[in-house]
Structure 1
């Protein structure tokens, strides 16, 4: 409307009645355009699309409940449909696309670590560990955690819950009959490589503690160090970090985080 008035001020002053009609038509057209743009924007937003789908499912559930039982049952069913979908999507959410699957152990640890951000912890997920000067990667740190209590390389593992987990003299870790020596050695090697890379970037020693968070079987201890690798139940990942003494300043945390972000590339580039 205002564009038309600016482009034709003489016509507007001379024929006010006709212009009023045009303004009304223009407002109606603008409203239609705004509605169209709004709908297009909604359809382009994944979160909005998800809520549109939820709404449609809720309406179907409401009608089904109303037809089969009564209004209250229909409304209850509609609410349950929306809640179930919200929970399902929340459980699948992750900053790493490769982890957006039904039961990724990495995603469960990621969710725990997010709650530590307000305590000054910074986290990089799914980072490749370069093996040589050419940047060839031979390993992956699921979660590199940098915070007041130090630097940690956490690997998340989903093991068969039917098989017990046990240790022998802090030197061996068994899952049922399987000796997990290779897995522990790999975790320790990844942490050692990260430590060397970060120290070279920041100019001071950066110890990186390796650990394995296990989901599935029951773990009969809180934290056990086996072959220099901390082993614990996956749901204890947050508790494992938050009660440790402070050894790094906020400035140190930022420096190490920035160095790690540049030196350790994402394992799954977007």
Structure 2
């Protein structure tokens, strides 16, 4: 999310036959059978620059160049067999590295490093019946505009969770006070917890209206960086835990949803909570 100007020269010379204007010229190769538009020419061969610009081909070209260099160096220093083995290891290693660091969600182009870490943990839960949406906006009831974002909305047998991934300074300790306050060094994280609880509560309301029954959404914060001296602590109605425990946090909970419930809730959430970055879709 062009107007073509036509010459009036024919009308200046007289009144032509309207039917003749509508008929394509005889022998015009662009005119197809009656009722059909112009015949599209098949695309020509791609240029070398176009091939290099293809994001699916460029990584393989880069791997190939590096593999050839490694092959040549090892061949000269040792033997052809060792060179082939080294080149193969280079290619396999790069494929594994890219798969581990790349996000599986095309719309999520602005993911942070800690968000990608949580995503990798959640990806392994798919075989256990969990469905995940990343970087979803939480629209307000009145105008559909949202200031909030749920990093990971997880729907699975143990329930529905809104997880925010946080990178905190590892030099500052994390502590709680009476399950009502969370401190990172001298900083009170009350506002951050209240924001997560608000996002989870609004997501619960929106999804519940879509499916026709109440769907509680538990807010949680996965913290990366500082040491967390507990497994899971609920502070201001938000679960707080170390980022590397995100997968265990979900798996250790009792099953409360059926496969049908999970799929129904997932479809409702996907429809009612839009991607935060729709321009990347």
Q: TM-score range by the shorter chain?
A: 0.7 to 0.9
Q: How far does the alpha carbon of each residue in 1:102-136 deviate from its partner, in whole angstroms, 9 at most, with x for none?
A: 96111111111111111111111110001233210
Residues 112 and 72 of structure 1, relative CA distance in 2, 3 Å threshold:
same
Q: C-alpha displacement at 1:220, in angstroms?
A: 1.2
User: How many Å separate the matches in 2 of 1:205 and 1:74?
Assistant: 62
Q: Which shows bigger deviation, 48-57 or 152-161?
A: 48-57
User: How many Å separate the matches in 2 of 1:103 and 1:67?
Assistant: 42
On the 8 A contact 1:127/1:141 being kept in 2, the answer is yes
Question: 1:50-61 alignment to 2 at 5 Å?
Answer: 50-61=59-70
Residues 121 and 166 of structure 1, relative CA distance in 2, 3 Å threshold:
same
Among 235, 239, 251, the alignment partner of 1:230 is 239
On the 8 A contact 1:92/1:101 being kept in 2, the answer is no
On the 8 A contact 1:99/1:106 being kept in 2, the answer is no
TM-score computed with the length of structure 1 as normaliser: 0.77
Among 251, 256, 279, the alignment partner of 1:247 is 256
Q: How far does the alpha carbon of each residue in 1:3-30 deviate from its partner, in whole angstroms, 9 at most, with x for none?
A: xxxxxxxxxxxxxxxxxxxxxxxxxxxx
SS of 1:82's equivalent in the other structure is helix
Relative to its length, the structure with more helix (as a share) is: 1
User: How many Å separate the matches in 1 of 2:164 and 2:202?
Assistant: 15
On the 8 A contact 1:92/1:100 being kept in 2, the answer is no
Task: State whether structure 2 residue 181 is matched by structure 1 residue 172.
Answer: yes
Q: C-alpha displacement at 1:92, in angstroms?
A: 2.4
SS of 1:201's equivalent in the other structure is helix
User: What residue number does 1:127 align with?
Assistant: 136
User: How many Å separate the matches in 2 of 1:70 and 1:102?
Assistant: 44
Unaligned stretches of 5+ residues in structure 1: 1-35
Q: C-alpha displacement at 1:212, in angstroms?
A: 0.5
TM-score computed with the length of structure 2 as normaliser: 0.74
Residues 79 and 218 of structure 1, relative CA distance in 2, 3 Å threshold:
farther
User: What residue number does 2:201 align with?
Assistant: 192
SS of 2:257's equivalent in the other structure is coil
Residues 156 and 251 of structure 1, relative CA distance in 2, 3 Å threshold:
same
Root-mean-square deviation (CA, aligned residues, Å) is 2.7
User: What residue number does 2:269 align with?
Assistant: 260
Q: C-alpha displacement at 1:176, in angstroms?
A: 1.6
SS of 1:266's equivalent in the other structure is coil
